[in-house]
Amino acid sequence: MSLFNQILLLMCVLTLLSTHNSLRVNAYSSLFFQRMHVNVTNTLLENLDLTLHCKSADDDLGPHVLHHGQNFVMNFKNNFLGETLFFCSFRWNKELHWFDIYIANRDDCRTTCNWYILQSGPCRTIAPKDNVECFAWNKNK
Ligand SMILES: *[C@@H]1O[C@H](CO)[C@@H](O)[C@H](O)[C@H]1NC(C)=O
């Protein structure tokens, strides 16, 4: 085989592999156009009010003030590419933090992802298992 043909063959194999891989990943997450439910509850200590402001590339959900124990539910559909990302700012007293509240490849919120906001960061349970998983605030602002 000539060098040119070898390179051509290699390129074909790589293209096939990458196509196959993304199909597998997409089928695995199977999240396209799925309706997602994300429920954020203010569980800050000391009965503090939480101001929550969530956005994606397409949507700005606006600021919401949650008293201690109150919650805010976000319902949305994943986009075609399964790349949906919602990020929120969280304010209380003089604190301001950011967190990616929904990342399509991280979270399966077809039932509901329940988030509980603490000073130390957000903790999540996913129904029906309800295992608690806690995360750190985003490092960048
Ligand atoms: C959101 O979470 C709160 C606190 O766990 C709960 O009381 C409320 O029923 C949840 N709402 C939805 C729509 O899941």
Q: What is the pLDDT of residues 22-80, one digit of tens each?
A: 444 444 444 567 899 999 999 999 999 999 999 999 899 999 999 999 999 999 988 87
Q: Is the pLDDT of residue 83 over 90?
A: no
Residue 74 Cα to ligand 1 middle (Å): 11
Q: Are 44 and 122 in contact (CB under 8 A)?
A: no
pLDDT at 10: 65
Which residue, chain included where needed, has tokens 């592999």? 17
Task: State the pTM of this model.
Answer: 0.77
Residue 115 Cα to ligand 1 middle (Å): 9
* Ligand 1 binding site (Cβ under 6 Å of any ligand atom): 39, 41, 71, 73, 112, 114
From atom 1 of ligand 1, which residue's Cα is the shortest distance away?
Answer: 39
Q: What is the pLDDT of residues 96-140, one digit of tens each?
A: 999 999 999 899 888 899 999 999 999 999 877 888 999 999 997
CA distance 22 to 19: 5
Residue 78 Cα to ligand 1 middle (Å): 21
* Residues, the chain: 141
Separation in Å, CA 55 to CA 45, 77, 87, 115: 25, 14, 6, 16
